[in-house]
């Protein structure tokens, strides 16, 4: 008996025990030989792993083979790059080893002598001077946390609909039509919201063509959370592209939201949109640091590229607080619901036994998105992560390949809807 990821199961393998949905519905009996059709149905039902009788040696066979048969020079480069990216993680941790393998299996698919340099540059960025040190600006004084939060929260140009939604959710009597009416005043946000609800990410059977219907089918809490999330994505402008490419930034943020939502589905948690929006907003504090200290952040990125240290560890050294705490503080100042603020504020806190499941999932999703290279929010290193933190999700590590496969399909679609088209939205 071997539990393996659905992505590693190949047609012809035998099931060692029944395959059931999370709701307990029997899909396949024990002893059934798996077919391509079965795998398709299992994925539709969100099955992520199965007990395979003869699969102990077959996990990820074809992908593993392509890694084993890789040209030795390419293999060496891929291994070196993997070690560099995971230099801040403890390789004794089983989850770290799994994520490293997942990264290699992903990269090996299209790797050749022709594009190997391009792969390394994509992950490591431009060559930097190894002796460089971050230069603190002339007269630099550490910002005081509360003061920075208050000032930056006022400076942000949040759309009016954001503040109106915050008021609406305070009222216990707000109806679906009232919420829809408030959102509809912002054409760009309404349009993105409707496209989002109609995307494959939601998979509603029939078209949702009005905001009132969107609120009715997705729920008021979900729609108000999504509205706040989308509104915040519109408020960060003028970020210097040489420090951070905003398309990369939002791709990373959306990836964390998508992965967290997939993990949340597996845990059976209600209110999936909260973790999606938590993922979408988790790194906004980084944008605030860049807006406030562009030159210093640029230097810190150089420092990170030449030492095994992550950008958030550097932030703590330089400012005495990280972008996580800053982002959480901003959201709190904007009166966003408390659960969202703490998810954002704690996404880099390590081995915190008080973390809620939401926070645990955002933390895991961030590490998965970093490991697989979905976008970038500044840091080029994978943040530290432990087996203890993964165990807090209550999920099996076998789901990781399947999570990666599902997320990859959804991230680009959502990036187009939520961020990249917002200047053209009608």
User: What contacts 114, CB < 8 A, 6 or more positions away?
Assistant: none
Instruction: CB nearer to Fe ion: give 9 or 287.
Output: 287
Q: Of 369, 379, 334, which Cα lies nearest the Cα of 235?
A: 334
Instruction: CB nearer to Fe ion: give 128 or 349.
Output: 349
> Could you tell me which stretch among 96-104, 144-152, 281-289, 292-300 binds Fe ion (CB under 5 A)?
281-289
User: Minimum distance between the CB of residue 303 and Fe ion, rounded to whole angstroms?
Assistant: 17
Instruction: CB nearer to Fe ion: give 60 or 285.
Output: 285
Instruction: CB nearer to Fe ion: give 283 or 389.
Output: 283
User: Minimum distance between the CB of residue 277 and Fe ion, rounded to whole angstroms?
Assistant: 14
User: What contacts 358, CB < 8 A, 6 or more positions away?
Assistant: 264, 274, 275, 278, 339, 342, 343
Instruction: CB nearer to Fe ion: give 99 or 189.
Output: 99
> Could you tell me which stretch among 33-41, 50-58, 280-288, 355-363 binds Fe ion (CB under 5 A)?
280-288
Instruction: CB nearer to Fe ion: give 28 or 365.
Output: 365
With binding defined as CB under 5 A, does residue 315 bind Fe ion? no
With binding defined as CB under 5 A, does residue 283 bind Fe ion? yes
Instruction: CB nearer to Fe ion: give 38 or 261.
Output: 261
User: Minimum distance between the CB of residue 345 and Fe ion, rounded to whole angstroms?
Assistant: 11
> Could you tell me which stretch among 73-81, 87-95, 123-131, 369-377 binds Fe ion (CB under 5 A)?
369-377
> Could you tell me which stretch among 212-220, 357-365, 374-382, 385-393 binds Fe ion (CB under 5 A)?
374-382
Instruction: CB nearer to Fe ion: give 10 or 248.
Output: 248
Q: Which of residues 90-149 bind Fe ion (CB under 5 A)?
A: none
Site string for Fe ion, 178-197 (x = CB under 5 A): --------------------
> Could you tell me which stretch among 28-36, 200-208, 362-370, 390-398 binds Fe ion (CB under 5 A)?
362-370
With binding defined as CB under 5 A, does residue 366 bind Fe ion? yes
Q: Of 233, 163, 221, 237, which Cα lies nearest the Cα of 192?
A: 233
With binding defined as CB under 5 A, does residue 304 bind Fe ion? no
User: Minimum distance between the CB of residue 28 and Fe ion, rounded to whole angstroms?
Assistant: 38
The answer for 141, left when phi > 0, alpha when psi is -120 to 50, beta otherwise, is beta
Strand, helix or coil at 27?
strand
Residue 95 near residue 397, CB atoms below 8 Å: yes
Instruction: CB nearer to Fe ion: give 70 or 382.
Output: 382
Count residues contacting Fe ion (CB under 5 A)? Answer: 3
Q: Alpha-carbon distance 124 to 413, whole Å?
A: 26
> Could you tell me which stretch among 143-151, 219-227, 276-284, 336-344 binds Fe ion (CB under 5 A)?
276-284
With binding defined as CB under 5 A, does residue 251 bind Fe ion? no
- Cα angle at 61 between 60 and 65, to 5 degrees? 115
User: Minimum distance between the CB of residue 297 and Fe ion, rounded to whole angstroms?
Assistant: 14
User: Minimum distance between the CB of residue 252 and Fe ion, rounded to whole angstroms?
Assistant: 6
> Could you tell me which stretch among 62-70, 200-208, 299-307, 365-373 binds Fe ion (CB under 5 A)?
365-373
User: Minimum distance between the CB of residue 366 and Fe ion, rounded to whole angstroms?
Assistant: 4
Residue 326 near residue 148, CB atoms below 8 Å: yes
* Residue at token pair 């790797």: 111
Q: Which of residues 61-90 bind Fe ion (CB under 5 A)?
A: none
CA distances from 104 to 51, 97, 98, 107, 411 (A): 25, 11, 10, 5, 20
User: Minimum distance between the CB of residue 310 and Fe ion, rounded to whole angstroms?
Assistant: 9
DSSP 49-97: EEEETT-TTTTTHHHHHHHHTS-HHHHHHHHHHHHHHTTTS-TTSHHHH
CA distances from 1 to 34, 42, 54 (A): 15, 19, 7
Tokens (6 digits) for 33: 């030989």
Q: Alpha-carbon distance 337 to 357, whole Å?
A: 16
CA distances from 409 to 102, 258, 325, 400 (A): 16, 10, 31, 15
Instruction: CB nearer to Fe ion: give 201 or 374.
Output: 374
Q: Alpha-carbon distance 241 to 340, whole Å?
A: 28
Residue 124 near residue 379, CB atoms below 8 Å: no
User: Minimum distance between the CB of residue 323 and Fe ion, rounded to whole angstroms?
Assistant: 6
Q: Which residues bind Fe ion (CB under 5 A)?
A: 283, 366, 377
């Amino acid at each position: 008996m071997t539990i393996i990821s659905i992505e590693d199961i190949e047609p012809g393998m035998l099931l060692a025990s029944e395959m059931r949905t999370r709701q307990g519905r029997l899909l396949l009996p024990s002893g059934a030989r798996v077919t391509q059709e079965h795998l398709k149905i299992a994925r539709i039902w969100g099955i992520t792993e199965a007990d395979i009788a003869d699969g102990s040696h077959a996990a990820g066979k074809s992908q593993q083979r392509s890694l084993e048969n890789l040209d030795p020079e390419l293999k060496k480069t891929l291994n070196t790059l993997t070690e560099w990216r995971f230099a801040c993680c403890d390789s004794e941790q089983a989850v770290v080893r799994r994520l490293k393998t997942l990264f290699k299996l992903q990269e090996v698919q299209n790797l050749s002598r022709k594009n190997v340099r391009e792969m390394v540059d994509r992950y490591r960025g431009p060559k930097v001077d190894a002796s460089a040190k971050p230069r603190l600006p002339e007269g630099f004084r550490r910002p005081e946390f509360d003061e920075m939060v208050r000032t930056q929260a006022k400076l942000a140009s949040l759309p009016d609909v954001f503040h109106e939604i915050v008021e609406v959710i305070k009222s216990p009597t707000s109806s679906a039509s009232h919420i829809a009416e408030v959102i509809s005043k912002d054409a760009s946000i309404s349009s993105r919201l409707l496209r989002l609800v109609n995307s494959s990410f939601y998979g509603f059977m029939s078209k949702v063509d009005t905001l009132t219907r969107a609120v009715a089918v997705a729920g008021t809490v979900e729609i108000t959370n999504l509205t706040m999330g989308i509104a915040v994505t519109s408020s960060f402008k003028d970020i210097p592209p040489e420090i951070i490419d905003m398309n990369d930034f939002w791709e990373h943020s959306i990836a964390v939201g998508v992965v967290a939502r997939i993990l949340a589905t597996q845990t059976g948690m209600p209110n999936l949109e909260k973790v999606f929006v938590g993922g979408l907003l988790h790194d906004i504090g980084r944008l605030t640091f860049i807006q406030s200290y562009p030159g210093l952040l640029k230097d810190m990125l150089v420092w990170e590229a030449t030492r095994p240290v992550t950008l958030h560890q550097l932030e703590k050294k330089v400012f005495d607080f990280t972008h996580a705490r800053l982002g959480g503080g901003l959201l709190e100042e904007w009166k966003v619901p408390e659960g969202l603020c703490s998810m954002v504020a704690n996404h880099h806190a390590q081995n915190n036994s008080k973390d809620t499941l939401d926070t645990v999932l955002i933390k895991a999703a961030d590490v998965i998105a970093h490991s697989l290279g979905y976008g970038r929010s500044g840091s080029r290193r994978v943040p530290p992560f432990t087996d203890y933190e993964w165990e807090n999700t209550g999920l099996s590590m076998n789901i990781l390949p399947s999570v990666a496969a599902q997320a990859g399909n959804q991230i680009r679609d959502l990036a187009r809807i939520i961020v990249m088209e917002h200047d053209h939205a009608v």
